[in-house]
Chain A
Amino acid sequence: MSSIAIYGTVLGVYLALLIALGLWMAKRTRSAEDFYIGGRQVGPWVTAFSFVAAYFSSVVIIGGGAFGYRFGLSTLWVAAGNVLIGCTLAWIVLGKRVWQFTKRLNTMTIPGFIGRRYDARNAEVFSALIIFVFMIVYNVSVLQGMGRIMEGLMGIPYVTGVLIAGVIILIYVSIGGYLAVVWTSFVQAWIMIFGLLLLGFATLNAVGGLPAAATKLAAIDSGYVSTPGVWGWGGLVSFALIVSFGVWGMPQLIVRFYSMKGTRVLRLGTVLATLGGAMALFPYLTGALSRLLLPPLSNPDLAIPLLTQQVLNPWGGAIFLAGVMAAGMSTFASVLIIVSGAIVQDLFGDRRMRKRGDAPASDSRTVLLARVASVGAGFVSLLIALKPPALILVITAFSWAVIASACLWPVVLGVYWRRGTRAGAISSMVVGTATALVWMLAGRPLGIHGFIPGVLVSLIVFVVVSLLTEPPPHAVIERAWGKTGADGS
């Protein structure tokens, strides 16, 4: 059996499994709440592993490996940040409160939460627009990653690879909604973990173990084994913060807390998400070690595909390819649900219809609209990805920086700080977004990514404007915190 046939067989079985899961979940999707947050009935295993799958996209595996190749073992600190800040602390700090608040406020989306928490329709629309535009941009990079890996490992033309991946995701997301996304993500997380472990241990075996590999890397350049090493503090810290702390403002990840069937899900879920998140180690580690096995590369994005061909047999390579595809597809699908929610619920939702005096849409009509919106948003990403405008990691970091600058503090302070006001939230979102955009368009002064100034300015503006304006009305606080303030908050 040729290696291409093996790759095709494994990938075919995997893609058929995804469509079957989508069809199965379609029967359980009857209302908008089912479509967007799985009817708030998702347990710890599926919540935790779908969080991990949505967090680590194909971009992290291919791009993380490229960073490992370029900067060496100091990139393990990025993985450490992913696990501690992006998984453990995110679940402990945000999980319970986000679940409680969104349930009290009866909202299914991040813009919906922001709008109701601050009683500000314009904040809801602004955040929905930011999410709509930049999540589609983010999905372009995810599709791009999948197209590149299929091109590199299977020889499938880039455009064909993007179309195969994109169309299959559109099918199972549009018919199965959030439940299809979390269940496919659950399966995809295990395939990713297995693929990464396979590549990780095969690479460690090929280089003679980590201590021996560290010695050989140090002989090439001591900067490959020290911290910050050849990367420098500015690059290491800002990148680690974007992909770790940035998670706290990412709608496709926070929505996992909405959909839990109760706060008890958090106990086991936090442990499982941390364990699953620990796999973030492998792209960086294998990327760093690949320098010992590969000839000098002009394009570091090729490090992981080439390493896979070198240390794994075709069956192992096929499983790893399925893992990378799984990473990309789970992220793409999760983002589609978020974009669909932003369009149907927040920009043209029932609230707006009621305001106009129209009757709210029926469940079947809302679900139909949600399906159409998810297909439309996916189709736009697909079209752009056929001829992408820039490099994968550039697009990803750009979109994450803008979304986090707009949403992070209104969400985090929205569940912890009663004094946060409507004016504080809106001005923080607008100024934070503008700062991140201007900083990046100015060519990243001082070598710092736009995420850092965007999030810092957003925090300062939120706090200062909130303290300078009237406290939120009692009714708004009571609606968000509950009548007794039973959270102890």
Chain B
Amino acid sequence: MPGPLGLPWSTFAALLVILASIVASIVWALLCSSRDDGETPDE
């Protein structure tokens, strides 16, 4: 039985992991930026 978007479930899940990695990298970068605002430059 096909999963979301007509894809096999495991294919959909693998694509979801790739998308989640991209989102996680953006969130991590934003968190780093907000933590470092106005602080010292790099060593």
A complexed with B: yes
Contact of A270 among B6, B7, B8, B29 (CB under 8 A): B29
Report the minimum CB–CB distance from B11 to chain A (whole Å).
5
Q: Please state if B21 and A83 are interface contacts (CB–CB under 8 Å).
A: yes
Which residues, 63 to 115 on A, are CB-close (under 8 Å) to B? 73-74, 76-77, 79-80, 83-84, 87-88, 91-92, 100, 103
Please report whether the interface of chain B is mostly helix, strand, loop or mixed according to DSSP.
Answer: helix
Bitwise interface map of B from 1 to 23 toward A, beta carbon under 8 Å scored 1, else 0: 01001111011001101101110
Q: Please state if A84 and B21 are interface contacts (CB–CB under 8 Å).
A: yes
Task: Name, among A76, A92, A270, A278, the residue most crowded by chain B CB atoms within 10 Å (CB to CB).
Answer: A76
Report the minimum CB–CB distance from A454 to chain B (whole Å).
26
Beta-carbon nearest neighbor of A209 in chain B: B6
CA distance A215 to B10 in the complex (A): 14
Q: Please state if B28 and A76 are interface contacts (CB–CB under 8 Å).
A: no
CA distance A92 to B21 in the complex (A): 11
Contact of A76 among B15, B21, B43 (CB under 8 A): B15
CA distance A388 to B5 in the complex (A): 45
Kindly count the residue-residue contacts between A and B in the assembled complex, taking CB atoms under 8 Å apart: 93
Q: Which residues of A contact B42 (CB under 8 A)?
A: 261-264
CA distance A88 to B17 in the complex (A): 11
Which residues, 234 to 285 on A, are CB-close (under 8 Å) to B? 261-264, 266-268, 270-271, 273-275, 277-278, 281
Q: Please state if A218 and B8 are interface contacts (CB–CB under 8 Å).
A: yes
Q: Which residues of B contact A215 (CB under 8 A)?
A: 2
Q: Do A76 and B6 form a contact, CB below 8 Å, given A84-B21, A270-B29? A: no
Please report whether the interface of chain A is mostly helix, strand, loop or mixed according to DSSP.
Answer: helix
In the complex, whether A214 has a CB less than 8 A from a CB of chain B is yes
Report the minimum CB–CB distance from A379 to chain B (whole Å).
39
Q: Which residues of B contact A273 (CB under 8 A)?
A: 25
The tally of residues in A whose CB lies under 8 Å from a CB in B reads 37
CA distance A372 to B27 in the complex (A): 44
In the complex, whether B41 has a CB less than 8 A from a CB of chain A is yes
Contact of B17 among A83, A100, A277 (CB under 8 A): A83
Contact of B10 among A74, A100, A264, A266 (CB under 8 A): A74
CA distance A215 to B5 in the complex (A): 12
Q: Which residues of B contact A225 (CB under 8 A)?
A: 8, 10-11
In the complex, whether A210 has a CB less than 8 A from a CB of chain B is yes
Q: Please state if B17 and A210 are interface contacts (CB–CB under 8 Å).
A: no
In the complex, whether A226 has a CB less than 8 A from a CB of chain B is yes
Task: Name, among A79, A210, A226, A277, the residue most crowded by chain B CB atoms within 10 Å (CB to CB).
Answer: A210
Q: Please state if A270 and B10 are interface contacts (CB–CB under 8 Å).
A: no
Q: Please state if A270 and B25 are interface contacts (CB–CB under 8 Å).
A: yes
Q: Do A266 and B18 form a contact, CB below 8 Å, given A210-B7, A227-B10? A: no
Q: Which residues of A contact B8 (CB under 8 A)?
A: 73, 214, 218, 225-226
Contact of A103 among B5, B7, B32, B43 (CB under 8 A): B43
Q: Please state if B10 and A262 are interface contacts (CB–CB under 8 Å).
A: no
Q: Which residues of B contact A92 (CB under 8 A)?
A: 25, 28
Q: What residues of chain B have their CB less than 8 Å away from a CB belonging to chain A?
A: 2, 5-8, 10-11, 14-15, 17-18, 20-22, 24-26, 28-29, 32-33, 36, 41-43
List 15 contacting pairs A-B, 8 Å CB cutoff, sorted by A: A74-B10, A80-B18, A87-B25, A88-B21, A88-B22, A92-B25, A100-B43, A211-B5, A225-B11, A264-B36, A268-B29, A270-B28, A270-B29, A271-B22, A271-B26
Q: 10 smallest A-B Cβ distances: which pairs?
A: A211-B6, A262-B42, A227-B10, A76-B14, A80-B17, A274-B25, A267-B29, A225-B8, A84-B21, A88-B21
Extra A-B contacts (12), CB below 8 Å, given A79-B18, A225-B11, A266-B32:
A76-B11, A79-B14, A80-B18, A84-B17, A84-B21, A88-B24, A214-B11, A226-B8, A261-B42, A262-B42, A263-B43, A271-B25
